[in-house]
Amino acid sequence: MSSDLQDLYQEVVLEHGKRPRNFREVEGANRRADGYNPLCGDQLTVTLRMEGDVIKDVGFVGQGCAISRASASLMTGAVKELTRAQAEELFELVHKLVMEGPAGLDTEALGKLAVLSGVNEFPSRVKCASLAWHALRAALEGKASSVSTE
Amino acid sequence: MSGIPLDVARIRADFPILHQEVRGRPLVYLDSAATTQKPQAVIDALVRYYTHDNANVHRGVHALSERATQAYEGARERVRRFINARDAKEIIFVRGCTEAVNLVAQTFGRSKVGAGDEVLITAMEHHSNIVPWQMLCQQAGATLKVVPVDERGDLRMEHLDALLTERTRLLAVTHVSNALGTVNPVREIVKRAHGKGVPVLVDGAQALQHFRVDVQELDCDFYAFSGHKVFGPTGIGVLYGKSAVLETLPPWQGGGDMILTVTMEKTVYNRLPYRLEAGTPDISGAVGLAAALDYVDSVGLEAIAAHDRELLEYGARALEGVPGVKLMSRARERSGVLSFVMEDVHAHDVGTILDRDGVAIRAGHHCAQPLLSCFGVAATVRASLAMYNTREDIDALVRGLHKVREVFA
């Protein structure tokens, strides 16, 4: 396998893609948003339970490729117990990571999410990696309508 | 069938784009249902036209305009001959298949479809042959009805007669499914529709590059296709219409050659085909399309069709040998497309890994979301073939799929 493919499909990505964490609707969710990628038809729904300004629980359901499922799975792990502002900061960081690569980014703040760094070598897959994050942001903003990667 | 096998090596030599490395590997182009590559003859025709003949058509009195007009109208005659239309005025140049369908929806539709009427399509249509009819039905207060597809990928013809009612104003059907490769029994469909007085539009975008199409033999009222899917340039397409039907259509877009005289009070519209071609047309596109049709005829559509069948069979067998691969279509007659899913691996991931080996396929819903929903999948991998493809291309695809399985093991 070529090295950029190895970077894209790191073991953690494959594992999360196969067995995504928090692949469920959150019980008692008070925020939700759908994410849709019209290019491939992938669709997922992110649900949140917010207590005040803090994300107490987060889950996702839907269908997508390994990258979008892994990114969604890692996202649910990363944003639990974060405030809305912290989650939005993380969104910006992940967005930069998949768009521009890891150079100059605070990789410590990214934690496990750093495994998504390989995506930036694959422009056609950036939307896959960011779908769940767009849906998260829409849910945090309390938008009822679905978001699209377009 | 000519019985003469295609000299694929010679054909490949005519397509300069095929001779390159992608991601450090020789390009394997299996996405011709999206767009076909162009032979040198088409590229040369475009260069020649812009180098020597470029001018606007129909109104200049100078030599270049005469030449451009001759080339443009010559292309119309070339298309007529290719699909065996009765008259060159039945050939309307448009931007592509999508525009051809929209033209019919907005002219025929505007004049013939009213509240309570019905338009019939099939579950196999791609978005370009669904959305224009949805738009029309919404505008007119009409209802869109759909002929279903069975699990093999064939139209459920037994539903057709019941779906053709006294309110049906038009039936629109694809000749070949872009997502499954199913070849529909268009002649039979037209016969049944005409039996109830219903005109038929055929979307031929995926047909003309694979086998001979004779619009008189099909007896369809409209036939739409794109130049770029039959080895011609992008931006040019054709709407064929029986002249008796085209004559009844109101004008569509206003301006340019569709006009005979204009006063501030009134416009007198031009005759066919000009009445339906507003503005400066895609002259170079028409010239390139004519060169493409010349090329196809020089190879021979019978030999191309035989090659297509042989490769499809070889491809289906080869794909079935890959663990976890499931072919989507078992339709009785198929052309040009191998559409499949891979167990536990999303089509997009398959596409990315294949691309790293220089293998170009399409992953997704192929703009046929309703059809894929019928099959319970959101996306498939589509390898689509053209005359320049070889068994080696299929072998490269299969090698790539084994690699996909390794990654996702």
CB-based contact B408 A1, cutoff 8 Å: no
The greatest distance separating any two alpha carbons of chain A, rounded to the nearest whole angstrom, comes to 47
Q: Across the interface, which of B353, B379, B408 has its CB nearest the CB of A41?
A: B379
Average pLDDT over residues A56-78: 95
Whether A60 maps to a domain, the answer reads yes
Q: Is the pLDDT of residue B329 over 90?
A: no
Amino acid at B107: T
Transcribe B154-196 into DSSP letters: -B-GGGHHHH--TTEEEEEEESB-TTT-BBP-HHHHHHHHHHT
Using the Cβ of A9 and the Cβ atoms of chain B, whether some distance falls under 8 Å is answered with yes
Confidence bin at B366 (pLDDT 50/70/90): confident
Give the whole-angstrom CA distance, residue A38 versus residue B234.
Answer: 23
Any idea how long chain A is?
150
Q: How many CB atoms lie within 10 A of CB B299?
A: 19
Average pLDDT over residues B193-199: 98
Average pLDDT over residues B335-353: 95
Using the Cβ of A65 and the Cβ atoms of chain B, whether some distance falls under 8 Å is answered with yes
Give the whole-angstrom CA distance, residue B130 versus residue B119.
Answer: 10
Q: What are the distances in angstroms from CA B197 to CA B11, B170, B187, B213, B245? A: 44, 9, 15, 23, 13
Q: Across the interface, which of A2, A41, A65 has its CB nearest the CB of B349?
A: A65
The shortest C-alpha distance from B102 to chain A (Å) reads 22
Using the Cβ of B73 and the Cβ atoms of chain A, whether some distance falls under 8 Å is answered with no
Using the Cβ of A7 and the Cβ atoms of chain B, whether some distance falls under 8 Å is answered with no
Residues of B with Cβ-Cβ distance to A4 under 8 angstroms: 356
Q: What pLDDT is stored for residue A143 in this prediction?
A: 65
Average pLDDT over residues A63-89: 95
CB-based contact A128 B369, cutoff 8 Å: no
Interface mutation target, options B25, B343, B345, B349, chain A, most CBs of A under 10 Å: B349
3-class DSSP state of A128: helix
Whether A39 maps to a domain, the answer reads yes
Average pLDDT over residues B210-227: 98
ipTM: 0.87
Would you say A101 and A44 are in contact if contact means Cβ atoms under 8 Å apart? no
Residues of B with Cβ-Cβ distance to A42 under 8 angstroms: 348, 378-379
CB-based contact B349 A66, cutoff 8 Å: yes
Q: Across the interface, which of B23, B369, B403 has its CB nearest the CB of A41?
A: B369
How close are the terminal C-alpha atoms of chain B, in Å? 44
Q: What pLDDT is stored for residue B187 in this prediction?
A: 98
Q: Is the pLDDT of residue B370 over 60?
A: yes
Q: What pLDDT is stored for residue A142 in this prediction?
A: 82
Q: Across the interface, which of A2, A40, A67 has its CB nearest the CB of B364?
A: A40
Q: What pLDDT is stored for residue A136 in this prediction?
A: 96
pTM: 0.93
Give the whole-angstrom CA distance, residue B279 versus residue B253.
Answer: 9
Number of compact structural domains in chain A: 1
Q: What pLDDT is stored for residue B61 in this prediction?
A: 86
Confidence bin at B7 (pLDDT 50/70/90): very high
Is the alpha carbon torsion for B251, B253, B255, B257 positive or negative? negative
Average pLDDT over residues B95-119: 97
What tens digit of pLDDT does each residue of B46-57 get?
Answer: 999 999 999 999
Q: Which two tokens stand for residue A30?
A: 């008070």
Q: Which two tokens stand for residue B296?
A: 């196809």
Using the Cβ of B404 and the Cβ atoms of chain A, whether some distance falls under 8 Å is answered with no
Q: Which two tokens stand for residue B403?
A: 């690699």
Q: What are the distances in angstroms from CA B46 to CA B41, B236, B282, B287? A: 9, 13, 11, 7
Please name which of B309, B126, B129 lies closest in space to residue B210, comparing C-alpha atoms. B309
Residues of A with Cβ-Cβ distance to B344 under 8 angstroms: 18
The shortest C-alpha distance from B348 to chain A (Å) reads 6
Q: What pLDDT is stored for residue B219 in this prediction?
A: 98
Q: Across the interface, which of A39, A64, A122 has its CB nearest the CB of B346?
A: A64
Q: Is the pLDDT of residue B1 over 90?
A: no
Whether A150 maps to a domain, the answer reads no
Transcribe A44-87 into DSSP letters: EEEEEEEETTEEEEEEEEEE--HHHHHHHHHHHHHHTT-BHHHH
What tens digit of pLDDT does each residue of B26-48 get?
Answer: 999 999 999 999 999 999 999 99
**In the block, residue with structure tokens 């919404």:** B138
* B367 labelled catalytic: yes
Average pLDDT over residues A24-35: 95
Whether A24 maps to a domain, the answer reads yes
Give the whole-angstrom CA distance, residue B334 versus residue B173.
Answer: 16
Using the Cβ of B346 and the Cβ atoms of chain A, whether some distance falls under 8 Å is answered with yes
Would you say B359 and B400 are in contact if contact means Cβ atoms under 8 Å apart? yes
Active-site residue identified among B97, B137, B220, B367: B367
Whether A99 maps to a domain, the answer reads yes
Q: Which two tokens stand for residue B308?
A: 């297509």
Q: Determine what percent of chain B is predicted with pLDDT higher than 70.
A: 99
Phi/psi of residue A123, nearest 5 degrees: -55, -35
CATH of the domain at A90: 3.90.1010.10
Average pLDDT over residues B266-281: 93
Confidence bin at A147 (pLDDT 50/70/90): low
How close are the terminal C-alpha atoms of chain A, in Å? 31
The residue segments making up the domain with residue A78 are 3-145
Average pLDDT over residues B327-355: 94
Using the Cβ of A2 and the Cβ atoms of chain B, whether some distance falls under 8 Å is answered with yes
Residues of B with Cβ-Cβ distance to A1 under 8 angstroms: 403, 406-407
What tens digit of pLDDT does each residue of B114-127 get?
Answer: 999 999 999 999 99
The shortest C-alpha distance from B180 to chain A (Å) reads 16
Average pLDDT over residues B312-325: 96
Q: Is the pLDDT of residue B274 over 60?
A: yes
Give the whole-angstrom CA distance, residue B129 versus residue B239.
Answer: 13
Whether A37 maps to a domain, the answer reads yes
Cβ neighbours for B220, distance < 8 A, ≥ 6 positions apart: B186, B190, B200, B201, B202
Q: Give whichever of B60-69, B233-242, B370-379 has the largest mean pLDDT.
A: B233-242
Q: How many CB atoms lie within 10 A of CB B338?
A: 28
Mean pLDDT, rounded, of chain B: 95
Q: How many CB atoms lie within 10 A of CB B188?
A: 12
Using the Cβ of B343 and the Cβ atoms of chain A, whether some distance falls under 8 Å is answered with no
Q: What are the distances in angstroms from CA B177 to CA A109, B24, B158, B302? A: 49, 33, 19, 20
CA atoms in the 13 A half-sphere facing the CB of B81: 12
Average pLDDT over residues A40-44: 83
CB-based contact B348 A125, cutoff 8 Å: yes
Q: What pLDDT is stored for residue B2 in this prediction?
A: 47
Phi/psi of residue A29, nearest 5 degrees: -65, 140
Interface mutation target, options A14, A44, A65, A124, chain B, most CBs of B under 10 Å: A65
Q: How many CB atoms lie within 10 A of CB A15?
A: 15
Q: Across the interface, which of A5, A9, A128 has its CB nearest the CB of B348?
A: A128
3-class DSSP state of B56: coil
Low-confidence winner among A2-6, B310-314, B389-393 (lowest mean pLDDT): A2-6
Confidence bin at A145 (pLDDT 50/70/90): low
Whether A45 maps to a domain, the answer reads yes
